[in-house]
Amino acid sequence: MGTGRDGGTASQTLKAVLGIRDLVFSGEIAPGERLSEVAVAERLGLSRTPVRSAFTRLEREGILAPIRSGGYAVRAFSAADVADAIELRGVLEGTAARLAAERGVAPARMAGLKALVADLDDIVSKPLAEMDFQAYIERNAAFHGMLAGLAGSEVVRREVEQVTMLPFSGPSAFIELQADIPEFRASLVIGQAQHRAIAEAIELREGLRAEAVAREHARLAHQNLDFVMRNKDLISRVPGLSLVSE
């Protein structure tokens, strides 16, 4: 009975975390806005207990900040904050790739990684008008999620997961803009070439190469951030960018 109750509580907390994160990143809650347990709980259809737990977790993730009068407010981020998070993701993913190459990967798991690369190749090879961007986001997330855990290090996997929770630091940041912006389309093609190179380097046990390509791969997200921040007309198309100041 206790296990089921604990599992239900954890599930409700996760639902609250994901719901609040979506409200913040969609721009529905502005930076500096105070979050009310009651209002958020009603909005998400949850009780106050999981919402309270979610606030605490999101504070640890750096998305919410405690305020003196009590409770939490949505943090604002500078472009430098996001750039640092992207750089850190590159370091961590590079470490994950190097360790995987040095330690070796079981054939079945390596086949799984290569299958994801093949799926992404197929998606990216389509003409722009026919590309399934949602499928790309899903496969891209699966590739990066698998990469984070490929070395068998729970420490590395957990730290990669943590840093990608910050706004626009994840591997699929700005993908939704790539459908009709040539500059982003080019970065998508380059990024896919890097996916192939990372998988190849890991399979060939080339640790330093795997690390270098993974770190360079993360910098594409930094380039895309710079491009968007320089083009004010694009900011309105990404509501969550209201969290990010120059």
User: What pLDDT, on the 0 to 100 scale, is given for residue 3?
Assistant: 43
Residue 25 has pLDDT above 50, yes or no: yes
Q: Which of 223, 48, 190 is nearest to 198 (CA)?
A: 190
User: What pLDDT, on the 0 to 100 scale, is given for residue 131?
Assistant: 83
- Cβ-based neighbour number of residue 67 at 10 Å: 12
Question: Distance between CA atoms of 219 and 171, rounded to whole angstroms?
Answer: 10
Q: Per residue in 95-106, pLDDT tens?
A: 999 999 999 999
State mean pLDDT over 65-71. 86
Question: Distance between CA atoms of 201 and 114, rounded to whole angstroms?
Answer: 12
Higher pLDDT: 110 or 244? It is: 110
Q: Is the pTM of this model over 0.85?
A: no
Q: Which CATH architecture has domain 2-75?
A: Orthogonal Bundle (1.10)
User: What pLDDT, on the 0 to 100 scale, is given for residue 157?
Assistant: 95
Any bridge partners for residue 1, and if so which?
none
Any bridge partners for residue 34, and if so which?
73
DSSP codes, 89-151: HHHHHHHHHHHHHHH---HHHHHHHHHHHHHHHHHHTS-GGG--HHHHHHHHHHHHHHHHHTT
Residue 199 has pLDDT above 50, yes or no: yes
Domain boundaries, the chain: 2-75, 78-245
Fold (topology level) of 78-245: Four Helix Bundle (Hemerythrin (Met), subunit A) (1.20.120)
Q: Per residue in 121-173, pLDDT tens?
A: 999 998 877 888 889 889 999 999 999 999 999 999 999 988 887 777 888 77
